[in-house]
Amino acid sequence: MSLVTLKEVLQPALKGGYAVAGLVTLGWEDMRAYVAAAEAEGCPVILQAGPSCREHTPLPVLGAMFRHLAEGASVPVVAHLDHGYTAEVCRIAIDSGFTSVMFDGSRKPLAENIAETAAIAEMAHAAGVSCEGEIGFVGYSGGEGSAGTDPEEAAQFARETGVDAMAISVGNVHLQQDKQGGLDEARIRAIEAVTEVPLVIHGGSGVPLAQRRALARGSKICKFNIGTELRMVFGEALREAANRDPERFDRVQILKETHDPVVAAARTVLQSFKGA
């Protein structure tokens, strides 16, 4: 049994100078591959269920899958809700056995974001569950633009909400398919100077590997969310497997062939967040 909370993996990361990957799952095949990768690397992993995952599979089913994998794993595994937009979805996740919830109030005015996040952090903590919040707004590639995190607002947010982890907007963008961007290190330094809360980078796929490595070791960023780059590997492996034999129709046989490529790609991701 190695199901743990977000706080239980991020506090050691903060002290030890490394980061933990929040890997975006869409189904059984990728979540199983991510746990296999974490076991091969001997490091903790955060399995995340975001809005598109939940649209496909109900939260109680996802909670049971995460818990089943965690209980059989040799490394710590966090069952995390990504981008919960309402108190209700966070409550259902907690009732479904998740050990961590992210409440995303980042589109709301500051006072509202703080008040709602604080209430959800309190509900989560009462259930022994961790809570992540977001301050500033992390935009979407080809969609909504970002609003960079103001360090003073981040300090206030951390103080008044009691969150265990704080997602910040420092040049990161969701759904990036290349690594042309990179993070605004001056803004990261200004934020970490005024708070002790572990920081989270959403849209980690767009961050170059060298910068991931450097920041994992030398900043208060303790969690990088990685989705797009692993979804691309899964999709490519699935397409190849489906096209390899036009006679084949059994989906388990086809899906099996995604396992090794996804494990290999996830191992590369996990390696970049390790300590020195």
Q: Which residues are catalytic?
A: 82
Residue nearest to Zn ion (CB): 202
Query: Quick one: which H or E segment has residue 87?
Result: helix 87-95
Cβ atoms of 259 and 35 within 8 Å: the answer is no
Beta bridge partners of 49: 25, 81
Q: In the bound complex, what is the minimum distance in angstroms from residue 83's beta carbon to Zn ion?
A: 6
Q: Does 231 bind Zn ion (CB under 5 A)?
A: no
As measured in angstroms, the least distance from the Cβ of 118 to Zn ion is 20
Piece of 7-15, 53-61, 110-118, 201-209 that binds Zn ion (CB under 5 A): 201-209
Query: Which of 106, 62, 63 lies closest to 85 in space, CA to CA?
Result: 106
**Out of 32, 67, 202, 231, the residue judged to bind Zn ion by CB under 5 A:** 202
d(CA 30, CA 245): 22
- Count of residues of this chain found to bind Zn ion when the rule CB under 5 A is applied: 1
Is 134 labelled as part of a ligand binding site?
yes
Least CB distance to Zn ion at residue 45 (A)? 17
Interface with Zn ion includes 54 (CB under 5 A)? Answer: no
The helix (run of H) or strand (run of E) holding residue 80 is: strand 77-84
Q: Give counts: helices (H), strands (E), the chain.
A: 12, 9
Smaller CB separation from Zn ion, 187 or 202: 202
Smallest distance, Zn ion to C-beta of residue 88, A: 19
CA distance 150 to 22: 24
> Would the annotation count 56 as a binding residue?
no
In the bound state with Zn ion, the residue whose beta carbon lies nearer, of 81 and 158, is: 81
- Is residue 223 part of the contact set for Zn ion (CB under 5 A)? no
Cβ-Cβ contacts under 8 Å for 177 (sequence gap 6 or more) = 141, 205, 228, 229, 232
Binding site for Zn ion (CB under 5 A): 202
Pick out the residues of the known binding site for Zn(2+). 83, 104, 134, 174, 202
